[in-house]
Amino acid sequence: MPKKDSEFALQDFLPYLLNQAAEESSLAFQKAYKNRYGMLRTEWRVLFHLGTYGQMTATGICDKARIHKTKISRAVQKLSERRFVVRARSDEDRRVEYLKLTPAGEAAYRDLRTEAEDYDARLRGQFTSGEVALLRMMLKRLAGLDAAG
């Protein structure tokens, strides 16, 4: 009986497939924020968190977006230099800093959000809405975003 050597299919290995799909879609969408605003991936993520959820702290974004705090710290620095974000120390706890978008930040957010919606619609267009719903459900579970998020 031969060793079942060739049964493993790399192109069906979920972590591999997930990465290929993620990279492809990220690279395509990246053009929007990179070319038009010179932003990095972490920067648009911070921008979008503040844009969709309103005022947050850096730690809040860390938890929600699952990004390390040093990356957030530097992204906030950049966004604040560009006057897209303002920081305000809390009075109750002087360690924490509230972040929110400036009008310029809001404008950039709205612009990029339109891009995002268009791009997402294009991706979804390849499938039925039932398939998309299932895909989202599965991705959320794989990401561990079922309950918390």
User: Per-residue x/- mask for DNA, residues 85 to 104, rule CB under 7 A?
Assistant: --x----xxxxxx-------
User: Radius of gyration (Cα) for the chain, nearest Å?
Assistant: 19
Shortest CB 91 distance to its own copies, Å: 28
Contacts of 78 (CB under 8 A, 6+ apart): 39, 40, 43
Contact between 15 and DNA by CB under 7 A: the answer reads no
Contact between 55 and its own copies by CB under 8 A: the answer reads no
Contact between 25 and DNA by CB under 7 A: the answer reads no
- Interaction partner, residue 146 (its own copies, DNA, none; CB < 5-8 Å by kind): none
User: Per-residue x/- mask for its own copies, residues 128 to 147, rule CB under 8 A?
Assistant: ---x--xxx-xxxxxxxx--
Contact between 87 and its own copies by CB under 8 A: the answer reads no
Residue with the two structure tokens 């790399």 = 10
Half-sphere exposure at residue 89, Cβ-oriented, CA atoms within 13 angstroms: 4
In terms of C-beta density within 10 A (0-12 exposed, 13-18 middle, 19 or more buried), how is residue 43 classed? buried
Contacts with its own copies, residue ranges (CB under 8 A): 6, 8-26, 28-29, 45, 48-49, 52-53, 66, 113, 116-117, 119-120, 123-124, 126-127, 131, 134-136, 138-145, 149
Contacts with DNA, residue ranges (CB under 7 A): 40-42, 57-60, 68-74, 76-77, 87, 92-97
